[in-house]
Amino acid sequence: MKTTWKTPERVVLNIVDNLPNGMLNEHGDVTIAINIMYINEIPFMMSTSQAIRFGTAEMIKNEMKSTIIKSIQQIIDTYHGRGFRIKHILRDQQFECIRNHMELQGINVKITRRDEHLPEVE
């Protein structure tokens, strides 16, 4: 008897159906820190939020402006999907090229000085 192969259902982990009471009221406006980290010469967009300590990591194909904007937009959409609003993004000098794009969305951008660091994502 032959068995037909079927595409298995996708595994989804860590789904939060309901946020704790008051979380959006207290932490709805979010500040995130972002950076690009290399692991075995492969670039990853890293982010973490200051108050709720939610982090993301995404492998990116390059550091072109369009790639960076797409990756950050996915992070923003993830937060918005749960009702959070990204109000501030902290980042270093390499992200200066996308400041205008973020500010058009109402997101304040803070570029660190050369002698400053973002320990949240380093």
DSSP 90-121: EE-GGGGGGHHHHHTTT-EEEEPPTT---GGG
Q: Is residue 22 part of a domain?
A: no
* Top mean-pLDDT range of 16-20, 39-43, 48-52: 39-43
How many domains are contained in the chain?
A: 1
Q: Closest by alpha carbon to 92, among 45, 60, 55?
A: 45
pTM higher than 0.95, yes or no? no
Q: Is residue 44 part of a domain?
A: yes
How confident is the model over 94-101, as a mean pLDDT? Answer: 88
Query: Distance between CA atoms of 69 and 61, rounded to whole angstroms?
Result: 13
51-73 residue pLDDT tens = 888 999 999 999 999 999 999 99
Q: Is residue 20 part of a domain?
A: no
CATH of the domain at 76: 3.30.420.10
Q: Is residue 105 part of a domain?
A: yes
Amino acid 91: pLDDT: 87
Q: Is residue 55 part of a domain?
A: yes
Q: Is residue 69 part of a domain?
A: yes
Q: Is residue 95 part of a domain?
A: yes
Q: Is residue 17 part of a domain?
A: no
